[in-house]
Structure 1
Amino acid sequence: MPRLFTALEIPREIAGPLAMLRGGIPGARWIDPEFYHVTLRFIGDVDYAVARDVAAALDEVERFGFEIGIDGVDQFGNHKPRAIFAAVKPNSALIELQAEQERLMKRVGLPPEGRNYKPHITLARLRNTPPRQVADYLSLRGYFRSPNFEVPRFVLFSSRDSVGGGPYTLEASYPLM
């Protein structure tokens, strides 16, 4: 049973500088740069028939390519930090692509995503990390910005059952016009 999600890939020229942000938080599990991505829609564990339906539905997407950029580094979890992430500047093309995928997944029969969409690139997963250490890290690295970069396609990834962070297998790619 595959665990699927759709995503935007991060080019090497952006992943390299992001990788330089690694370190400085004891106990953090840093994501390997080759696995950096912006999740569009987490699909989850599905049987192979649903996986085929998902792939076919995604083939219907006809959108133009667009640009995105990184606008800071932050954390999820507030008083109990769970992850460090690079925030992606949302724009209408990104939000519309994500919303279309949400509609397509509902049509396939999947339940709606329960959380509001916040485009980001997970850099590290945290477990029992003191909030003060995260605050110190963010005070030094939180202002990271990247130039905008082109998004020529989105992809369907599968992953093994784990705590996240890869490895991911590219199942299909969908070019944007």
Structure 2
Amino acid sequence: MPSRARTSSEEKPLRLFVAIDLPEDVKSRLDEVIASFRRPIPGVRWTRVEGWHATLKFLGRTPPGIVEDVRLAVASVAAGNGAFDTRLSGVGAFPTPRRARVLWVGIADEERRLARISRLLDEALAARYVAEKRGPKPHLTLARLDPPREVRDLIPGVLEARTDSASFPVDRLVLYASHLSPRGASYEALERWSLGPGV
């Protein structure tokens, strides 16, 4: 294969994360449930439906030269974990509803399958990235608040929204690049790996 000169844009760090995708029907139903709350509010940035995903490992700024190492690590974790079912659960806020910075919908993980994958990603990528101190909390981000606010006063009723979904399969991991712009973040899937037979 002929070599290809790198352009200056290829040399820029990539903002990467590993996630799972949600089926379109699950996203559509959640969109219907959240629609009545999603109004323009100063300091609240609602995420776009087409970008909804559940992050398992945020990598952040990554030099292009180590992306192949990241790919190999994620591929290894995917191959060692079998597919399973999960569902959306209730609405919550980080760090707390009283001083919310992030409004989210949880991803059920009673059997700790997502937590296990997150831990294995931490271990596989430990040479390059620091693991988060807090334990994994699988979630889908609905909105970001700046400055942090009491979410019950700001968006009444949202924490009680019935966001539980039917079960859906988790059968692959996705490596995403996040591109920031004045319109918000957009996400590019760099590669997807099917989950293997498990252990």
Per the normalisation by structure 1, the TM-score is 0.88
Q: Which residue of 1 aligns with 2:173?
A: 154
**1:53–1:159 Cα change, 3 Å:** same
Is 1:43 matched up with 2:59? yes
| Deviation digits for residues 6-36 of structure 1 (CA, Å, limit 9, x no counterpart) | 0000111111111120415723211111111
Is 1:26 matched up with 2:26? no
Q: How does 1:1-177 map to 2 (within 5 A)?
A: 1-20=13-32, 21-22=34-35, 23-24=38-39, 26-27=41-42, 28-61=44-77, 62=79, 63-78=81-96, 79-90=98-109, 91-106=111-126, 108-128=127-147, 130-131=149-150, 132-134=152-154, 136-141=156-161, 143-161=162-180, 166-177=185-196
Is the 1:7–1:41 Cα contact (8 Å) retained in structure 2? Answer: yes
| Deviation digits for residues 22-75 of structure 1 (CA, Å, limit 9, x no counterpart) | 415723211111111110100110111221111112121221111111111111
CA distance in 2, matches of 1:57, 1:115: 22
Deviates further, 154-163 or 128-137: 128-137
CA distance in 2, matches of 1:105, 1:164: 31
Uncovered stretches (5+) of structure 1, i.e. residues with no partner: none
The alpha carbon displacement at 1:176 in A equals: 0.9
> Aligned-pair RMSD on alpha carbons?
2.2
Question: Over alpha carbons, which structure has the higher Rg?
Answer: 2
**1:88–1:139 Cα change, 3 Å:** closer
Deviates further, 18-27 or 60-69: 18-27
The alpha carbon displacement at 1:133 in A equals: 2.6
Uncovered stretches (5+) of structure 2, i.e. residues with no partner: 1-12
The alpha carbon displacement at 1:99 in A equals: 1.1
Per the normalisation by structure 2, the TM-score is 0.79
The DSSP-based 3-state class of the residue aligned with 2:147 is coil
The alpha carbon displacement at 1:175 in A equals: 0.5
Q: Report % sequence identity.
A: 26
Is the 1:35–1:165 Cα contact (8 Å) retained in structure 2? Answer: no
CA distance in 1, matches of 2:178, 2:61: 9
